[in-house]
Amino acid sequence: MSGAREDGVGRARVSVLLDADWAAGSLVADVRRGLGSAPLRLPPKWLYDDVGSDLFDQITRLPEYYPTEAERAILTDRAAEIVTASGATTVVELGSGTSDKTRTLLDAFAAADRLARFVPIDVSEGTLRAAAEELCARYPRARVEAIVGDFTLHLGQLPPNDPGAQRLVAFLGGTIGNFYVEERAAFLGALADSLDAGDTLLLGTDLVKDADRLVAAYHDPGGVTDRFVRNSLAVLNRELGADFDTGAFAYIPFWDPHLERMDLRLRAESPQRVRIPGAGLDLELAVGEEIQVEISAKFRLPGIAGELAAAGFDVVTSWTDAGHDYALTLARRR
């Protein structure tokens, strides 16, 4: 990362905290760390190139994949309560993308005349700039201050509170479930350190439920999720000159009842030697050897409260959808 640059696009202010070569360097580091030792892993953020993002958008519309609509339903039903309970006038969104669902929340802040500022944060500069312009038009009385950055790296550079005001940080989509337990603790602690006392966090989490239903959400009959996970290897082929045969792997999603998480893997169906010249790696894969591409932890409300408390947050309240599939938890920085 170099010094940030800042510019205006229409009425939006855009701060860029990432170097142009950030993605390439970060990918190499992640591949060396994840595929250079056992067990073999790839961070899920590399699933979301243009192809992967389109596939994930298709996943969110599948009847088996309930989290997106469950979260949207909670926001629709409870947005006004969230506005009142948070007491905030600035909304910060981590991993904002197009801020599609978040507009339900922002609409409620605007209707209550409490939306002074919106700060979306995402690594995709193009997507962020386009969304920022749309949001400026939708909320003409609010300041839109977009940040092109990696929220796992740049929490310390969140804009400070306006005098006498408070912030609400929205971390939606169940993304917290992609973190391992120790990563969640470190992330929530760093987030707490970046906030002022009284600031709030709105956290989206998928809840523990019947294993068959969970597996079905990640193993659709049309194979969209299979293609989404398999695309991670295509990213390595394209960006690092790897020679993965993406068809030589089986997609293996399974529910881990002890760690209470979905585990999405690719299993080699034949012995393979894979070169990844861009990362300086050669892999020898035996039949049945697996690469873990993503985890998706599921939660129980007492566990969510405990993890938040350990990081310095006190739960204000939690809301679930009608089917108790998903939760939004509002917590205040102690």
Which pLDDT tens digit goes with each residue over 263-303? 999 999 999 999 999 999 999 999 999 999 999 999 999 99
φ, ψ of residue 98 to 5 degrees: the values are: -90, 0
Tokens of 334: 């102690």
Cα Rg of the chain, angstroms: 20
Tokens of 25: 């360097």
The pLDDT value recorded for residue 203 is 98
Weakest mean pLDDT among 126-130, 197-201, 263-267: 126-130
Which pLDDT tens digit goes with each residue over 57-103? 899 999 999 999 999 999 999 999 999 999 999 999 999 988 999 99
- What does the pLDDT average to over 106-125? 96
Q: Of 329, 87, 67, which is closest to residue 214 (Cα–Cα)?
A: 67
**pTM, 2 dp:** 0.94
Give the span between the Cα atoms of 18 and 278, in whole angstroms: 21
The pLDDT value recorded for residue 6 is 60
Provide the Cα torsion 228, 233, 236, 241; round to 10°.
-130
Instruction: For the chain, give the mean pLDDT.
Output: 94
Q: What is the DSSP string of 230-254?
A: HHHHHHHHHHH-----GGGEEEEEE
Give the span between the Cα atoms of 33 and 27, in whole angstroms: 10
If phi > 0 it is left, if psi is from -120 to 50 it is alpha, else beta; for residue 198 that is: left
Helix (H, G, I), strand (E, B) or coil at 164: coil
The pLDDT value recorded for residue 2 is 41
Q: Which domains does the chain have, with CATH numbers?
A: 5-20+66-209+298-333 (3.40.50.150), 42-63+224-297 (no CATH)
Give the span between the Cα atoms of 70 and 209, in whole angstroms: 14
The pLDDT value recorded for residue 5 is 57
Query: Are β-strands 167-171 and 313-320 bridged in parallel, bridged antiparallel, or unpaired?
Result: unpaired
The pLDDT value recorded for residue 233 is 97
For residue 39, count other CB atoms closer than 10 A to its CB.
10
